[in-house]
Amino acid sequence: MQALCHAWKKYKGDVKLNHFTKYKTRKRMLKNRPLEIPEVQFWKLIWYWSLPEIKAMSEKNIENRSKQTCPHGTRSTGFGIVRKQLRDSKENNEEPSRAEIFIVTRTSKKGKEIDPKSQSTIVITRSSLKRHEEIRQVRGEYDDKVSSLERQMEGVCGLLMVMLQKMNPGKSEEDIAALV
């Protein structure tokens, strides 16, 4: 099935390149259409590829593909499946890090990196992954402390507003809030 899907995708790309992109006018495109595609169907295909939103999407995809420097090697296997397999392989079913997913998707089944750029990018060691986990734990503790301090500040501000209202009975709540 994968080979069939790949062949179909390649065929569509070849048709677009050799019978659509190559010619400027629709008349010339129709004149030079592939003989295995009926004229009515090819006309609809030309109409579809000519839609502004389809052209914009195509240009955006071309731009995005040109920026890729380390292509993954998962072929048709989705990253969600890779993430689930990694999570299931861990003792406590914790989420895999981005670095772990990067390494797995850039390594062949035989354990070799796919290309030299990926090889130079994959410099993460087990100790650096452990350090990343420690940083994540410290960040969690920091976030907890910040939340606790924010709650305390809200309490202090509320108390201060009550005191200012009692000391200044003629002032509005907005004025007192501005003072706080």
Q: Considering the chain, what is the average pLDDT of its residues?
A: 85
Distances in Å between the alpha carbon of 5 and those of 13, 35, 140? 12, 22, 45
Q: Domain map of the chain by residue range? A: 2-67, 79-124, 131-179
The mean pLDDT of 86-108, rounded to a whole number, is 84
What does the alpha-carbon distance between residue 148 and residue 156 come to, in Å, rounded to a whole number?
Answer: 13
Per-residue pLDDT band at 137 (split at 50, 70, 90) = confident
Per-residue pLDDT band at 112 (split at 50, 70, 90) = low
Maximum CA extent, the chain: 91
Could you give the percent of the chain with pLDDT greater than 90?
Answer: 36
Q: What are phi and psi of 113, to 5 degrees?
A: -70, 155
Instruction: Point out which residues pair with 107 in neighbouring strands.
Output: 113
pLDDT of 10 reads 92
| Other beta carbons within 10 Å of 91 | 5
pLDDT of 63 reads 93
The mean pLDDT of 92-116, rounded to a whole number, is 77
Nearest by Cα to 175 from 167, 152, 151, 153: 167
pLDDT of 124 reads 57
The answer, as to whether pTM is greater than 0.75, is no
Per-residue pLDDT band at 164 (split at 50, 70, 90) = confident
Please check the confidence at residue 128 and state whether its pLDDT lies above 90. no
